[in-house]
């Protein structure tokens, strides 16, 4: 696998706000991660965020309700296991990020994403249309998330949907609800959502997407758990704002 993006790939990323790289992670690496995730899901190995914690549509009302102990995210992926750190620091990932961010040094956030997302059949919730930057606090909104599929991801099992070019939009506050999700009762938003495309991924495929790219995901209607490793990165010069959620834990320089 080449460690260099082509000019066409870079242009696509800056145009659409995302880029999919097929087979970026090898079969052996994906198999190691899947084994570790399976061992960490049942029983759930802390720290864990449960579906009941997010209060999204379709989530159990509480941890005491049916499905309330369904894990949504295995947190602290970077410090959870060496195989996850190796991927975060891998040259195939870091070299692409440097090109996309136009920088020479990159940091991974320990406060945002930094997790294995698990979407279980039966009790998974819906994630409405949003930009990840909505609750993040940095000097400027230029961060990239790296989403590694550990299995096939489709609309049926709750795979991501993205709106191409939406990272370039500056929407009026009234087009977002109280939680900063896109309001679906507004015609302009409805037209925007109609432009969405699915990020169909196979195991080992990697999605790079800008923190301002609108995306959403449905419930898992399939019969197996969907698993994805997700990190968020930024230029070392793009610092988190002190005393915000983005600065709780120190970010880490990767690839050095």
Phi/psi class of residue 117: alpha, beta or left (left: φ > 0; alpha: ψ in -120 to 50)?
Answer: beta
> pLDDT band at 55, cuts 50/70/90?
confident
Residue 53 has pLDDT above 80, yes or no: yes
Which has the closest alpha carbon to 75: 107, 113, 130, 41? 113
> pLDDT band at 2, cuts 50/70/90?
low
Residue 50 has pLDDT above 80, yes or no: yes
Structural class in CATH, domain 7-242: mainly beta
pLDDT at 124: 86
Q: How many Å apart are CA 44 and CA 36, to the nearest integer?
A: 12
pLDDT in tens, 221-230: 999 999 999 9
**24-43 average pLDDT score:** 95
pLDDT in tens, 121-167: 988 889 999 999 999 999 999 999 999 999 999 999 999 999 999 99
Q: How many Å apart are CA 59 and CA 164, to the nearest integer?
A: 28
pLDDT in tens, 85-111: 999 999 999 999 999 999 999 999 999
* Residue for token pair 């136009």: 102
pLDDT in tens, 111-132: 999 999 999 998 888 999 999 9
pLDDT at 1: 60
Chain centroid to Cα 25, Å, comes to 16
pLDDT in tens, 169-219: 999 999 999 999 999 999 999 999 999 999 999 999 999 999 999 999 999
E strands present in the chain: 18-21, 48-50, 71-75, 106-108, 115-119, 127-130, 143-149, 160-162, 197-198, 206-210, 215-217, 226-235, 252-254
Q: How many Å apart are CA 81 and CA 65, to the nearest integer?
A: 31
The answer, yes or no, to whether the previous bond of 43 is cis (omega within 30 of 0) is yes
The structural domains of the chain, with segments of one domain joined by +, span: 7-242
Please say whether the beta carbons of 37 and 24 come within 8 A: no
């Amino acid at each position: 696998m080449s460690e260099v993006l082509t000019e066409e790939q870079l242009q696509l990323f800056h145009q659409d706000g995302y880029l999919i790289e097929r087979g970026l992670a090898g079969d052996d690496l994906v198999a190691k991660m899947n084994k570790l995730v399976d061992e960490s899901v049942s029983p759930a190995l802390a720290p864990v965020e449960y579906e009941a914690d997010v209060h999204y549509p379709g989530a159990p009302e509480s941890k005491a309700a049916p499905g309330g102990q369904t894990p949504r995210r295995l947190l602290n992926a970077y410090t959870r296991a060496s195989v996850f750190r190796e991927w975060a620091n891998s040259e195939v990932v870091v070299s692409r990020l440097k090109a996309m961010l136009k920088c020479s040094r990159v940091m991974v956030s320990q406060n945002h994403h930094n997790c294995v997302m698990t979407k279980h059949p039966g009790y998974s919730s819906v994630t409405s249309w949003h930009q990840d930057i909505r609750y993040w606090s940095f000097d400027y909104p230029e961060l990239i998330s790296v989403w590694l599929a550990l299995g096939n991801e489709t609309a049926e099992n709750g795979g991501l949907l993205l709106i191409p070019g939406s990272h370039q939009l500056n929407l009026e506050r009234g087009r977002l609800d109280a939680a900063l999700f896109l309001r679906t009762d507004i015609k302009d938003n409805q037209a925007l959502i109609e432009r969405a495309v699915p990020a169909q991924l196979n195991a080992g495929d990697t999605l790079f997407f800008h923190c301002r790219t609108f995306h959403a995901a449905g419930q898992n209607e399939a019969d197996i758990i969907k698993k994805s490793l997700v990190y968020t990165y930024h230029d070392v010069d793009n610092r988190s704002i002190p005393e915000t959620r983005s600065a709780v834990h120190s970010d880490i320089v990767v690839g050095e």
